[in-house]
C-alpha cells in the first residue's frame, strides 16, 4: 500500500460539488469511479476540503491509498484517460503513510473573479461573478486588512456551519484589476463554510458603498453575520492551491 496525493483541476459548473452524493454527479464520485477501474477495488479519496456546486478548482488536492502496482509516473495519464473532460489530474505523487490531504494542510489559497461591466457576458457566466457598477479598489484593499491574522470568523460563515472552533488565520488578501476583472486572492490556514464567498461579498459591498468598513468590523468583532456583506455566488470561486 502506498499513499498517493493527487492535484486536481475541475470545472465545477457541471458538478454537485466535490462530495459524493447518491445519484448526483460529483467530483469525488467521478474520481473514485476512475480509481475503481484502475485498481479493481473501491477506493476512498480524501480532499483538502469540499467545494460547493459550481465552485471550480485549479489545484484541489486529495489523497488515497493505492494497492496495485501502477507506476506513479503513469497514474495521472491513466486517470485522465478515464475521467470526464471537466476533471483533470495535474499531478500524482507518493506521500508518507500518515499524510492526510485535509489534516496535514498548512495553507490554502482561493481566488475569486468578479467581472465589472454593463455588458452581460453569457459565454463567461459560469466562471465569474458579475457586478455592474465600478468598485473602489483602494477602499477594498484598506478594508481587507482587518481580516489578516487570527480571528473568530463566525460572523463570516454560513449559518449551516457547525464547528467547534471558528477561529481561522488569514495570511494574505490580494486584490488586483485585470482589464474588466477584479481578482481577489485569499490565503489562509483554512476556511469555514462559505467564508471566502462572504469575505469577498463584504469587500465588494464596501467597494460599491453598500456597506461600511465599520459594519464589516462589527461582524468580525461580534460574530454578527447580519453586519457582513452578501455571499457571492459559487461560479466566481476557484480553489487555487494548497500547501503542506
Cβ-Cβ contacts under 8 Å for 7 (sequence gap 6 or more):
59, 60, 61, 89, 90, 91, 92
Report if residue 16 touches its own copies, rule: CB under 8 A: no
Report if residue 227 touches its own copies, rule: CB under 8 A: no
Which of the residues 109 through 128 are near its own copies (CB under 8 A)? Answer: 119-123, 125-127
Cβ closer to its own copies: 27 or 220? 27
Cβ closer to its own copies: 128 or 215? 128
Triad 205, 128, 204: Cα angle to 5°: 10
Residue 79 beta carbon to its own copies: minimum distance, rounded to whole angstroms: 10
Report if residue 88 touches its own copies, rule: CB under 8 A: yes
Report if residue 98 touches its own copies, rule: CB under 8 A: no
Q: Which of 11, 52, 65, 86 is catalytic?
A: 52
Q: Which helix (H) or strand (E) holds 36?
A: helix 27-39
CA torsion sign for 185, 127, 197, 229 is positive
Report if residue 18 touches its own copies, rule: CB under 8 A: no
Report if residue 230 touches its own copies, rule: CB under 8 A: no
Q: Which of 37, 47, 67 is nearest to 242 (CA)?
A: 47
Label the pairing between strands 181-188 and 167-178.
Answer: antiparallel
52 is catalytic: yes
Q: Are 38 and 79 in contact (CB under 8 A)?
A: yes
Cβ closer to its own copies: 120 or 145? 120
Cβ closer to its own copies: 32 or 140? 32
Residue 57 beta carbon to its own copies: minimum distance, rounded to whole angstroms: 9
Cβ closer to its own copies: 11 or 52? 11
Report if residue 80 touches its own copies, rule: CB under 8 A: yes
Choice from 1, 23, 42, 85 touching its own copies (CB under 8 A): 85
**What is the grid cell recorded at 54?**
459550481
Residue 52 beta carbon to its own copies: minimum distance, rounded to whole angstroms: 16
Q: Are 188 and 124 in contact (CB under 8 A)?
A: no
Choice from 3, 56, 197, 227 touching its own copies (CB under 8 A): 56
| Distances 244 to 9, 96, 100, 103, 211 between C-alpha atoms, Å | 18, 12, 9, 9, 36
Label the pairing between strands 237-243 and 56-66.
Answer: parallel
Cβ-Cβ contacts under 8 Å for 86 (sequence gap 6 or more):
10, 11, 13, 14, 15
Task: Give residues in contact with its own copies (CB under 8 A).
Answer: 9-11, 13, 56, 58, 80, 85-90, 119-123, 125-127, 130
- Which residues are marked as active site? 52
Amino acid at each position: 500500500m502506498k499513499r498517493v496525493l493527487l492535484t486536481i483541476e475541475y470545472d465545477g459548473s457541471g458538478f454537485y460539488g466535490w462530495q459524493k452524493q447518491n445519484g448526483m454527479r460529483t467530483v469525488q464520485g467521478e474520481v473514485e469511479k476512475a480509481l475503481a477501474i484502475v485498481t479493481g477495488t473501491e477506493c476512498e479519496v480524501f480532499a483538502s476540503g469540499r467545494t460547493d456546486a459550481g465552485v471550480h478548482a485549479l489545484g484541489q488536492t486529495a489523497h488515497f491509498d493505492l494497492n496495485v502496482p501502477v507506476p506513479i509516473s503513469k497514474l495521472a495519464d491513466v486517470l485522465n484517460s478515464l475521467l470526464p473532460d471537466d476533471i483533470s489530474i495535474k499531478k500524482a505523487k507518493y506521500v508518507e503513510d500518515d499524510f492526510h490531504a485535509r489534516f496535514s494542510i498548512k495553507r490554502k489559497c482561493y481566488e475569486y473573479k468578479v467581472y465589472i461591466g454593463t455588458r452581460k457576458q453569457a459565454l463567461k457566466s459560469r466562471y465569474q461573478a458579475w457586478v455592474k457598477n465600478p468598485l473602489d479598489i483602494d477602499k477594498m484593499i484598506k478594508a481587507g486588512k482587518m481580516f489578516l491574522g487570527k480571528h473568530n470568523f463566525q460572523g463570516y460563515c454560513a449559518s449551516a456551519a457547525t464547528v467547534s472552533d471558528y477561529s481561522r488565520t488569514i495570511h494574505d488578501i490580494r486584490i488586483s484589476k485585470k482589464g474588466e476583472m477584479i481578482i481577489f486572492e485569499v490565503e489562509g490556514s483554512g476556511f469555514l463554510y462559505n467564508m471566502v464567498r462572504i469575505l469577498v461579498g463584504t469587500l465588494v459591498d464596501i467597494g460599491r458603498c453598500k456597506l461600511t468598513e465599520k459594519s464589516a468590523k462589527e461582524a468580525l468583532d461580534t460574530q454578527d453575520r447580519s453586519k457582513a456583506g452578501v455571499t457571492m455566488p459559487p461560479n466566481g470561486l476557484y480553489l487555487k492551491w494548497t500547501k503542506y
